[in-house]
Structure 1
Amino acid sequence: MAREVKPLSNPLISRFSAVIILIFAVSGAVTAQETATSFFEQVSERYKSVEDYTADLVITRGDTVQTAKVWYKSPNLLRMDFEEPEGMVIAVDGELLQVWVPDYSVTFSQPLRRDSQAGLATVTSSAGLELIKKYYTISYDPIPGSVPLDPGSSEEVIKIKAEWKSNNEGFRRLLLSIDADTRFIRRVTGITTTNDEITFDFTNFVLNPDIPDARFQYESPPTGNTIENFLFDPES
C-alpha cells in the first residue's frame, strides 16, 4: 500500500538519512584557492574517466556504524546493499530512488526531478565533484601534499576542505581525503547545518567492471508498505 507523507517527516528516515544527504547534499558560490582547485580538477577528471565502479562503504555517525556494498554507474545509477543494518537497500535506477528498510517492512520511494536525472550528484561522482567546484570554496587541509589518513596511519592521502557559503540543508563543510596515487576519494567527512559529523569511508574500489543496468533495478517485497515522495514533491 502506498501513501504520501510530508517530506522528511518520518522518523524512520533517520536510519538512512546520512546516505540520502550524501546523494542530495551538493547544490548551493564562490571562487576557490587556485592551487587546491587545480588539484581538485585532477580528481574531477579522474572520476570523469570512470564509467562505473564498485566499492565497500562504511558510514559513521556518532556511535552508529553502517556498512554497505556500493555499485555506481555514470551518470545516474546507484545501488547500496547494506550488511549493517542487514537487508537495507538503496537503489536509484535513473528515474526513481527507493529505500527498503526491512526492520519496518517499509519502502521509501522518490521520483527524481527531471533536472536530477542527467547526473546523480553523489559526492563521489563526477557530477557531484562538479557541483562542489561550483558552490564551495576549496582549500588544502591543512597543507598541500600527502599526510596520513589518520594519526599514525601509513596510508597517505591529500586532504581538501570545501566550505559552503549558504544556509541550505545538507553539508556546510566537506573534508575530503583523496588517495595520493589513484586520485580517488578515500574518505568524506561531512559537517551538516546542525553540526552533525558523518564520515563515509570507501575502500576496495573496482573500476569499470561493466555493471549491467539490471543491477540497479529493485523491487521491494510486496508485503511491505510504501511511503512516496518522502523528500520532495517531484513536480515542485
Structure 2
Amino acid sequence: MIGLGVAATLTSIAVGARNHFLKQVDTPGARPAGIGGSAYGADPAARRELEDAGAPAGVIALPAGGARTASGAAGLGTGASAAAAKTVVGSGDGARVPRAPDAAVMERSPTPAAEELAQNQEAATVLQRAAAAYDRVRSLRAEFVQHMENPLLGTRTTSRGTLYQRGADRFLLRFTDPEGDVIVSDGKYFWIYYPSVDQRQVIRAPAGPNGAGGVDLRAQFLGDPLTRFLPALEGTEVVAGREAYVLVLTPRMEAGYRMLKVWVDAKDSLVRRFEIAEENGSVRRFDLSNLAVNPALGDELFRFTPPPGARVIDRS
C-alpha cells in the first residue's frame, strides 16, 4: 500500500481559513500537514483548512491474487454436532439415542465466527503479500486526483498532480491544480512551497524517521505489517474499470490517523486508490493512474531552491 504515494485544490479559498493557516504555520512547533507528521499527501486545500494529519508517502505494490479461504464447510462440525445432540429419538426399549443430522443441517451455512475468521485470514494474506511485493518497488511515478472532505468546515475539495518517489526518502508532489504548489523531499529536508497560499513563504522540515516525513505509506508494508495493523477485507470493487481488493487497515498503535483503506488491483497488485480517515474526522481519497514502476528518477528531480525573497520557516 503505497500510502502507502498525492494533490492540488480549488483556486478560491475563504480568507479566514487562509489567515488561520498562515497563523498556524508561524506557530512554534507547527509541523507540515501529513499522516503521522508526513508532508506527503498534504494538499493545499487541507493546508488551508488546517488539517493536522495527512497521507503517508508512497504507493503500494502488492502481488497479484489473494488466497481465498474456502469457508463453505467452516463451522459444520460444530453446527451438526449441536443439532445432533439436541435431536433424539426413542428406541424400542425406551432408550434415547441421537438422530443423525439431516441434509438441511449438513448444508447449514458457516457460523458468523467462522466466516469472520476466514475473512481475517484472507486479509492477513493480502497484507503479507503487500509486504513481500513492495520490497521490489524502487521507484514510482503516478498521476493522482485527491478528494478531500472536512466535516468540521463542511468543505469538499478536489486536487490533482503527479507523484514521483524513489526509495524511502526522495519524493516530489507536483501540483497542477493549483499549479506551482510542490512538496519535495531531497533526502535531507522536506521543502513545502504553496504559492497558491503565500508566494513568499517556504517551509523546511527535516526528512527522516523523526522529521516531517517520518511515516510513509511504503514503509507501512515493509517488515511485518501485521504487527502494525489489524487488517480486514471488505471484498472487491471496480476502480477505473479494474477489479480491486478493498483492504481496511486499522493501526494497532498511534499512527496519526484512524484508518487506512487501500484498493489493490486484482491483476497487477498495484494500489489504484487509497483513503485515509484522519483523527480530526477528515477523509482523503487518492486515485492513482498511469502508474510506472521503477522508472529512472534522477537526483535533480528532487532538488528545490526557494524563490528569491522567500521567507524560509525552519521546522527542525
Give the TM-score normalised by structure 1: 0.77
Residues 32-111 of structure 1: pairs in structure 2 closer than 5 A: 33-62=120-149, 63-103=156-196, 104-105=198-199, 106-111=201-206
Distance 1:202 1:120, change over 3 A: farther
Separation of aligned partners in 1, 2:259 and 2:241: 26
* Structure of greater relative contact order (alpha carbons < 8 Å, 6+ residues apart): 1
5+ long unaligned stretches in structure 2 = 1-24, 34-43, 58-118, 150-155
Summarize the Cα distance change of 1:212–1:16 in structure 2 as closer, same or farther, 3 Å threshold: farther
How many residue pairs match? The answer is 210
**Structure 1 residue 6 and structure 2 residue 28: aligned?**
yes
Which residue matches 1:28?
A: none
Identity rate of aligned residues, in percent?
18
* Deviation (angstroms), 1:154: 3.4
Rg larger for: 2
SS of the residue 2:29 aligns to: coil
**1:46-91 CA distance string (max 9 Å, x none):** 2211111110111111221111111100121101110012100100
Q: How far apart, CA to CA, are the structure 2 residues paired with 1:129 and 1:120?
A: 14
Amino acid at match of 1:99: I
Alpha-carbon RMSD across the aligned residues, in angstroms, is: 3.0
Q: Deviations over 1:121-174 (max 9, x none)?
A: 421x2x132375432201101x3xx4323xxx73210000111245x4622111
TM-score, with structure 2 as normaliser: 0.59
Provide the secondary structure at the position in 2 that maps to 1:34: helix
Partner of 1:33, secondary structure, is helix
Counterpart contact for 2:53–2:257, Cα < 8 Å: no
Cα drift, residue 44 of structure 1: 2.4
1:228 corresponds in structure 2 to 314
Question: What letter matches 2:133 in structure 1?
Answer: R
Structure 1: how far apart are the matches of 2:172 and 2:249? 26
**Unpaired segments ≥5 residues, structure 1:** 25-31
Which residue identity is paired with 2:267?
A: D
**Whole-angstrom distance in 2 between the partners of 1:100 and 1:94:** 17
